[in-house]
């Protein structure tokens, strides 16, 4: 059973990583990354590291990926607009890098003679990797690095709030700021649904405003025409005959 879980998780890890690199839509790329991270959590379970597997799901596949989804929805989910020349150069570099990596792996594998490594001394001690032992290490031996990491996350959160508050006060002519409420509206109103369809949310919002302005202009023109039709007409010929 453990071997089957290992191979299924390995297929998910490799397939998710390939999807992150190959897929062009950022929204689908995020979904492929979620599959990759969940498969890594399954691999940690096969290694009897339950705490690390749970942290992998809660932190990376949960909170971090939700943040990625909101970022993709905020900036728009269209395909990357790259020129044909630049895209071809990047493909050539990617192929060369992948080929060099494959050659290095072949040399390392064939050079070892495909010999299995010994398992002497590989037994896991009792309580190794348990939440209790990890908590003792984080709040004891590694307390200072743990606190520094928490302060770093706090600074990142404060910086995000400062940048968002500065962007609210941009002058006229700048791009409009799209709120989270606008991102969560139904499809066709500049929301996260455009991340799936490939249409940027800002573009959808601008198109909607332009369409509403055009409809208001047409309605105003129709009211003016109706007012002209209802206005009483003066017969200038009759008035001239009466004066004569």
The stretch 142-152 carries a mean pLDDT of: 90
The label of the residue with tokens 């105003």 reads 220
Answer yes or no: pTM beyond 0.85: no
Angle at 43 between CA 37 and CA 47, to 5 degrees: 140
Phi, psi of 28 (to 5 degrees): -70, -30
Reported as a single tens digit per residue, the pLDDT across 195-235 is: 444 444 445 555 666 777 777 777 666 666 666 655 555 55
d(CA 40, CA 5): 11
d(CA 200, CA 82): 16
Q: What is the DSSP letter of 189?
A: S
User: Which architecture, in CATH terms, is 1-75?
Assistant: Up-down Bundle (1.20)
d(CA 213, CA 223): 16
Least confident of 76-85, 129-138, 164-173: 76-85
Tell me the pLDDT band of 35, cut-offs 50, 70 and 90: very high
Burial label, 152 (beta-carbon count in 10 A; 0-12, 13-18, 19+): exposed
Tell me the pLDDT band of 190, cut-offs 50, 70 and 90: very low
Rounded to the nearest angstrom, the gap between the alpha carbon of residue 176 and the centroid of all alpha carbons in its chain is 20
Phi, psi of 81 (to 5 degrees): -90, 90
CA–CA distance from 7 to each of 1, 16, 44, 47, 171 (Å)? 10, 14, 13, 13, 56
Instruction: Write down the pLDDT at residue 193.
Output: 47
Reported as a single tens digit per residue, the pLDDT across 84-113 is: 556 678 888 888 998 898 888 888 777 665
Looking at the chain, which residues constitute the CATH 1.20.120.1200 domain(s)? 1-75
Instruction: Write down the pLDDT at residue 38.
Output: 92
Reported as a single tens digit per residue, the pLDDT across 57-87 is: 988 888 888 888 887 777 765 555 445 556 6
């Amino acid at each position: 059973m453990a071997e089957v879980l290992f191979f299924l998780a390995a297929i998910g890890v490799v397939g998710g990583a390939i999807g992150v690199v190959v897929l062009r839509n950022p929204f689908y790329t995020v979904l492929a990354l979620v599959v990759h991270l969940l498969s890594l959590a399954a691999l940690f379970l096969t290694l009897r590291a339950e705490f690390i597997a749970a942290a992998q799901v809660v932190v990376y596949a949960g909170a971090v990926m939700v943040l990625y989804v909101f970022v993709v929805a905020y900036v728009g989910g269209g395909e990357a607009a790259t020129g044909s020349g630049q895209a071809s150069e990047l493909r050539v570099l990617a192929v060369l890098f992948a080929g060099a990596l494959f050659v290095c792996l072949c040399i390392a594998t064939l050079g070892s003679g495909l010999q299995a490594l010994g398992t002497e001394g590989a037994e896991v001690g009792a309580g190794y990797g348990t939440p209790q032992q990890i908590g003792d290490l984080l709040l004891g031996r590694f307390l200072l690095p743990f606190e520094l990491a928490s302060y770093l996350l706090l600074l990142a959160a404060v910086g995000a709030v400062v940048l968002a508050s500065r962007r609210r006060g941009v002058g006229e002519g700048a791009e409009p700021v799209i709120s989270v409420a606008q991102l969560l509206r139904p499809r066709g109103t500049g929301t996260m649904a455009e991340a799936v369809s490939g249409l940027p949310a800002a573009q959808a919002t601008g198109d909607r405003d332009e369409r509403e302005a055009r409809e208001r202009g047409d309605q105003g023109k129709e009211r003016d025409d109706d007012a002209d039709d209802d206005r009483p007409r003066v017969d200038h010929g009759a008035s001239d005959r009466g004066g004569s």
